């Protein structure tokens, strides 16, 4: 069965091409990368070569000049095989590239888009030790020195932190005025004073690097400000709204992968003289998993379509992330159970999908924060 019947021909071809690549190249080594907590550098290079990293970047800068929906399909297809690869591409496209698209000056676009499209991975640096859901409580400072700023502070839980070379960094030029002092900067790897700290040892998406980053008098040119000084909170809010759809796509992709594995297994597993797929209880489990997956997938696609059409999508993005992350946790859990004892061991992929799914309800806005957003909009 082809699970992507609502796509047009071009979209279907894109999804199929990415999935076939992931199945042939990433699948054989995904458990090795998970065990060693390391992304194979070959894949980062090939993601650029395949065009996955510049999906919405204009053609004049070396990108594909395609749609946000196309980026969502790439993230979903990769995550169906390995969620670590999915989130690497997700953060680069939906957070970093979109921040540059919407907020960078023409000069910054001309400087960084060719790099982001062809060779240099991006990371998005908002979270801090004391700033998680309360993103505007960040303590990192940016001292205005006229033609440059000096950045000081620490960022935590930064996806792509190990491999990235271009960073979108949020700091406050005047903590006394709260969020109105937050400013977004483009920081490059190698700038004096910028260092990497601890790499987190995680439950899931273990091949995706999650890093602590330190900034000590990092000199950032004034022209590297994204948007306006003191308006960084707008950059964060609007970019994260798009990023939530990307996480929804990641969850839809990995849940489909878990469901694929479960369907194949129940057809092969024989108990009491027949395939367990012939038992009605198992059939009902598969049916419920399929229904939950399809529902979440449609929510994610709807939010992405609205974004591309220029309509408001904040409510829809929050709902998509909320439901997709809940669905992924449920589907991967039931897939693991259908594998029985085999599901609990690393010889089979069910336990990896289960571990990878948990982060969906936590990062880029917890489920609690999505509920807050939805409630505020519904209640006016």
Rg, Å, the chain Cα set: 21
Cα separation values, 237 from 47, 162, 170, 242, 365, Å: 27, 25, 12, 9, 11
Residue written as token pair 């964060």: 236
**Nearest of 247, 239, 245, 244 to residue 87 by alpha carbon:** 247
Q: 367-379 and 314-338 helices cross at what angle (nearest 10)?
A: 140
- 116: its two tokens: 């982001």
Rounded-to-10 torsion of CA 70, 75, 80, 81: 120
**Nearest of 300, 275, 290, 279 to residue 94 by alpha carbon:** 300
Which residue numbers are catalytic?
364
Q: In a 3-state reduction of DSSP, which class is residue 333?
A: helix
CB 275 within 8 A of CB 267: yes
């Amino acid at each position: 069965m082809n699970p992507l019947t609502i796509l047009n021909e071009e979209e279907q071809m894109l999804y199929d091409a990415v999935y076939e690549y992931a199945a042939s190249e990433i699948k054989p080594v995904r458990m090795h990368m998970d065990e060693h907590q390391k992304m194979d550098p070959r894949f980062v290079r090939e993601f650029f070569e395949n065009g996955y990293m510049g999906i919405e970047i204009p053609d004049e800068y070396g990108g594909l000049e395609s749609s946000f929906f196309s980026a969502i399909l790439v993230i979903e297809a990769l995550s169906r095989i390995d969620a670590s690869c999915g989130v690497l591409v997700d953060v680069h496209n939906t957070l970093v590239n979109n921040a540059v698209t919407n907020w960078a000056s023409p000069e910054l676009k001309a400087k960084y888009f060719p790099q982001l499209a062809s060779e240099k991975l991006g990371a998005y640096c908002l979270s801090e030790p004391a700033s998680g859901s309360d993103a505007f409580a960040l303590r990192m400072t940016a001292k205005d020195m006229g033609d440059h700023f000096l950045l000081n502070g620490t960022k935590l839980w930064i996806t792509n932190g190990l491999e990235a070379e271009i960073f979108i960094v949020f700091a406050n030029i005047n903590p006394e005025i709260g969020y109105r002092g937050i400013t977004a900067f483009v920081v490059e790897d190698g700038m004096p004073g910028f260092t990497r700290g601890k790499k987190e040892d995680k439950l899931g998406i273990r091949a995706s690097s999650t890093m602590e980053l330190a900034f000590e008098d990092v000199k950032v040119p004034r022209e590297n400000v994204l948007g306006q000084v003191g308006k960084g909170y707008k950059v964060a809010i609007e970019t994260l709204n798009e990023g939530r759809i990307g996480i929804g796509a990641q969850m839809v992709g990995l849940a489909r992968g878990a469901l694929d594995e479960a369907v194949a297994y129940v057809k092969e597993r024989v108990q009491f003289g027949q395939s367990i797929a012939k038992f009605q209880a198992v059939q009902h489990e598969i049916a419920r998993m399929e229904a939950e997956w399809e529902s979440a997938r449609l929510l994610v696609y709807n939010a992405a379509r609205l974004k591309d059409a220029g309509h408001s999508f904040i409510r829809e993005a929050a709902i998509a992330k909320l439901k997709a992350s809940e669905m992924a946790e449920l589907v991967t859990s039931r897939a693991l159970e259908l594998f029985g004892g085999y599901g609990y061991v690393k010889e089979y992929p069910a336990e990896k999908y289960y571990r990878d799914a948990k982060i969906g309800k936590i990062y880029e806005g917890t489920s609690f924060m999505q509920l807050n957003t939805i409630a505020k909009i519904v209640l006016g």
